[in-house]
């Protein structure tokens, strides 16, 4: 009985061993067969990407890649189909860089591309390319790229001249904006009218031309009496101190100060805000409310060389005498001298952005403040300046004629510093007016950021006349392109509502 039990146990172990051996052999055969088929499928995919598939291997790869589906029809072999490309297909099948090899319709009626020849497949790793193709596509949208600075489309000089003629400043507009105008024909004298800036009542009283100490306002005084008043007051004497001093309004702190006729400042230091006043009535330089004590200090008070109201006659002005054509953008940087603002640097560019003229200028009067924060001029720059204002005028009038269009931002300041009389002017301050109207003006930096997506006048070294001139030219080109696009849209809309005329349509 024990022998029978031992024999049965032996048979069970033998049967289990045979079963395990058969499973191992079957697994080996299965792995050998399907691994070979997988290698053939990968090879067929690689050959399909390189553009040289064989007929039999293509059929096998198609059979392995595409599972059977009862609803879809069996596709024929692609090797017999000729390569073709059609503009309609290439336009609608976005993302396919090569030639479309096959086009078919799915069961739902939509068209689909079966495959496409990739021009970059030859430079890619075949195994890596096949692995990347099997990965699921990431359908998330990429992050939005920051807006790049826009470069306005360049226009020919003739077309630009025709487009800018309606925007030329009229003499009345130039007079209101403070441009220098010729006093008499063929004379070197000019007059300038300066509008009083919008200020508070207490500040505006400083601009009044009435003198309450004048004889006609003092009771009991004769026309020859120049005293400050009566009732025991001593008559005013023309002393040497009063005769040799002049009074100016500081353009930075809005206070009156005295200086000698030789340029010596007799007042204390200047405490001011160098930033503008924002819409919430705060200074942009220090964010302090309007009326707060200044955040910057300078040794001397300064003035700009003009007073509110009529200024003139002014000597030393020049103008062109013959037509020369052309369009140029000009920007000038000035420094404060004892005579006011004087030219220190100038840059002129053409309509295509090419630099035409650039030079440093030596002021004729002693410099009080170089205004480096805005002008970018330093003492070492003026030390190597050799040209005078008269030299710069002769150079500019060598290529600027009576019909030449000059472009600039707040160009009244530039022409006054250049002492140049010119009638064909495009001012970006008038081209893009302030929302609150004149005399408020939008800065060049704000215009470039809003319209061109460009940042200018951001450096700590001051303004660059070349950068500002190009920015003014690009703003004008932007305006012209916008007007042309608007006219094209209006033309298309009008043509849509016109009645159908066979003769016009045939023409």
Q: Is the pLDDT of residue 25 over 80?
A: yes
| C-alpha–C-alpha distance, residues 31 and 241, integer Å | 114
Does residue 38 register a pLDDT over 60? yes
* pLDDT at residue 320 is higher than 80: yes
Residue 340 shares a structural domain with residue 454:
yes
The boundaries of the domain holding residue 349 are 157-194+316-488
User: pLDDT by residue (tens digit) across 348-365?
Assistant: 999 988 999 999 999 999
Shared-domain flag, residues 274 and 327: no
Considering the domain architecture, whether residues 181 and 327 belong to the same structural domain is answered as yes
Q: Is pLDDT at 418 greater than 80 in this prediction?
A: yes
Taking the alpha carbons at both ends of the chain, their separation in whole angstroms is 116
The pLDDT of residue 212: 40
pLDDT of 267-306, one tens digit each? 778 999 988 888 788 888 888 888 888 898 988 899 888 9
Judged against a pLDDT cut of 70, whether residue 448 lies above it is answered with yes
pLDDT of 67 above 60? no
If asked whether residues 277 and 402 sit together in one domain, one would say no
Residue 205, pLDDT above cutoff 70: no
Residue 225 confidence (pLDDT): 36
Chain centroid to Cα 499, Å, comes to: 43
Number of neighbours of residue 330 by Cβ within 10 angstroms? 28
Give how far the C-alpha of residue 43 lies from the chain's centroid of Cα atoms, to the nearest Å. 53
Lowest-confidence range among 205-219, 326-340, 475-489? 205-219
Same domain, 273 and 403: no
Helix (H, G, I), strand (E, B) or coil at 307: coil
Average pLDDT over residues 387-415: 95
Average pLDDT on 393-415 reads 95
Say yes or no: 339 and 471 in one domain.
yes
* Helix, strand, coil shares, percent, the chain, to 5: 35, 20, 45
Q: For residue 375, report the phi and psi dihedrals to the nearest 5 degrees.
A: -85, -25
| Whether residue 419 sits in one domain with residue 378 | yes
> Is residue 342 situated within a structural domain?
yes
Q: Which residue has the higher pLDDT, 494 or 324?
A: 324
The answer to whether residue 148 is domain-embedded is no
Residue of 342, 321, 465 whose CA lies nearest to 397: 321
Mean pLDDT of 408-424: 95
The rounded distance, in Å, linking the Cα atoms of 96 and 119 is 10
Query: Tell me, what's the pLDDT at 124?
Result: 42
Position 12 scores a pLDDT of: 81
> Which long-range contacts (C-beta less than 8 Å, at least 24 apart) are formed by 438-442?
438/176, 438/177, 439/195, 439/197, 439/198, 440/198, 441/410
- Rounded to 5°, the CA angle 490-492-495 comes to 110
Average pLDDT of span 448-459: 84
Give dist(CA 290, CA 469) in Å, integer.
32
Residue 176 in domain: yes
Q: Which of 100-109, 188-197, 448-457 has the lowest mean pLDDT?
A: 100-109
Residues 6+ apart with CB under 8 A from 325: 157, 161, 401, 403, 404
Same domain, 332 and 444: yes
Which backbone phi and psi does 283 adopt, to 5 degrees?
-80, 130
One domain for residues 270 and 381: no
Report yes or no: 334 and 344 within 8 Å, Cβ to Cβ: yes
Q: What total of structural domains would you count in the chain?
A: 2
pLDDT at 458: 73
Lookup: tokens for 372: 């480096």
**What confidence category does residue 42 fall into, taking pLDDT thresholds of 50, 70 and 90?**
low
3-state secondary structure 465-477: HHHHHHHHHHHHH
Q: What is the CATH number of the domain that holds 433?
A: 3.30.420.10
The pLDDT confidence band at residue 232, using thresholds 50, 70 and 90, is: very low
Q: d(Cα 276, Cα 55) in Å, to the nearest integer?
A: 77
Residue 241: what pLDDT?
Answer: 53
CA distance 205 to 235: 25
How would you class 363 by CB atoms within 10 Å of its CB: exposed for 0-12, middle for 13-18, buried for 19 or more? buried
Final residue of a domain: which of 285, 307, 329?
Answer: 307
Whether residues 250 and 174 share a domain: the answer is: no
Q: What is the mean pLDDT of the chain?
A: 75
Q: Tell me, yes or no, whether 397 lies in a domain.
A: yes
Q: Decide: 42 and 33 in contact? Cβ < 8 Å.
A: no
Residue-wise pLDDT for 423-438, tens only, equals: 999 999 999 998 888 8
Q: Which pairs from 483-489 meet CB under 8 Å and 24+ separation? A: 483/163, 484/163
By mean pLDDT, which of 45-49, 220-224, 376-380 is the weakest? 220-224
User: For residue 440, is pLDDT > 70?
Assistant: yes
pLDDT higher than threshold 50 for residue 218: no
**Three-class SS state of 330:** strand
pLDDT, mean of residues 463-488 = 92
> Between 2-50 and 126-134, two packed helices, what is the crossing angle to 10 degrees?
100
The rounded percent of the chain whose pLDDT value lies above 70 is: 64
pLDDT at 385: 92
Work out the average pLDDT over 131-146: 53
What pLDDT shows up at residue 217? 35
| Residue 355 lies inside a defined structural domain of this protein | yes
In a domain, residue 8? The reply is no
53-57, 106-110, 186-190, 330-334 — most confident range: 330-334
Could you tell me if residue 33 is inside a domain? no
Per-residue model confidence as pLDDT tens digits over 82-114: 454 555 554 455 555 555 555 665 556 555 555
User: Do 474 and 342 share a structural domain?
Assistant: yes
pLDDT of residue 133: 53
In a domain, 93, yes or no: no
pLDDT value for 399: 94
Residue 103: its H or E element:
strand 100-105
Residue 246 has pLDDT above 50, yes or no: yes
Q: By the 8 A CB rule, do 117 and 99 touch? A: yes
Tokens of 276: 């503008």
- The rounded distance, in Å, linking the Cα atoms of 485 and 499 is 24
Same domain, 276 and 325: no
């Amino acid at each position: 009985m024990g022998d029978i039990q031992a024999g049965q146990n032996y048979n069970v172990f033998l049967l289990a061993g045979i079963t395990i051996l058969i499973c191992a052999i079957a697994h080996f055969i299965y792995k050998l067969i399907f691994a070979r088929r997988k290698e053939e499928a990968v090879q067929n995919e690689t050959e399909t990407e390189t553009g040289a598939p064989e007929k039999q291997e293509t059929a096998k790869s198609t059979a392995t890649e595409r599972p059977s589906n009862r609803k879809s029809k069996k596709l024929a072999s692609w090797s017999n189909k000729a390569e073709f490309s059609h503009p309609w297909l290439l336009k609608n099948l976005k993302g396919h860089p090569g030639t479309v090899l096959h086009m078919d319709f799915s069961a739902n009626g939509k068209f689909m591309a079966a495959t496409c020849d990739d021009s970059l497949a030859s430079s890619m790793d075949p195994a890596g390319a096949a692995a990347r193709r099997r990965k699921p596509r990431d359908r998330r949208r990429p992050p939005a790229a920051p807006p790049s600075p826009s470069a306005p489309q360049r226009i020919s000089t003739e077309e630009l001249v025709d487009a800018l003629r309606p925007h030329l400043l009229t003499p009345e507009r130039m007079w209101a904006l403070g441009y220098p105008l010729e006093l008499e024909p063929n004379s070197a004298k000019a007059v300038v009218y300066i509008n009083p800036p919008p200020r508070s009542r207490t500040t505006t009283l400083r601009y009044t031309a009435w003198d309450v100490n004048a004889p006609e306002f003092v009771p009991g005084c004769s026309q020859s009496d120049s005293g400050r008043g009566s009732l025991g007051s001593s008559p005013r004497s023309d002393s040497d101190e009063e005769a040799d001093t002049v009074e100016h309004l500081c353009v930075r702190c809005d206070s009156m100060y005295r200086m000698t006729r030789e340029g010596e400042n007799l007042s204390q230091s200047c405490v001011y805000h160098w930033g503008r006043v924002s819409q919430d009535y705060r200074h942009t330089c220090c964010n302090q409310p309007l009326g707060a004590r200044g955040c910057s200090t300078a040794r001397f008070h300064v003035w700009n060389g003009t007073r509110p109201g009529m200024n003139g006659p002014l000597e030393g002005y020049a103008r062109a005498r013959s037509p020369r054509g052309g369009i140029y953008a000009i920007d000038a940087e000035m420094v404060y001298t004892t005579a006011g603002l004087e030219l220190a640097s100038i840059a002129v560019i053409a309509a295509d952005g090419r630099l035409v003229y650039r030079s440093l200028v030596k002021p004729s009067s002693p410099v009080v403040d170089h205004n480096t924060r805005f002008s970018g001029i330093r003492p070492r720059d003026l030390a190597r300046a050799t040209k005078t204002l008269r030299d710069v005028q002769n150079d500019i009038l060598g290529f600027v004629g009576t019909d030449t269009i000059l472009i600039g931002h707040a160009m009244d300041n530039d022409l006054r510093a250049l002492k140049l009389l010119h009638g064909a002017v495009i001012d970006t301050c008038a081209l893009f007016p302030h929302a609150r109207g004149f005399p408020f003006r939008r800065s060049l930096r704000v215009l470039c950021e809003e319209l061109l997506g460009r940042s200018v006048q951001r450096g700590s070294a001051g303004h660059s006349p070349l950068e500002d001139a190009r920015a003014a030219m690009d703003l004008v080109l932007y305006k012209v392109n916008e007007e042309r696009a608007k006219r094209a849209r209006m033309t298309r809309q009008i043509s849509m509502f016109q009645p159908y005329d066979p003769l016009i349509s045939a023409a």
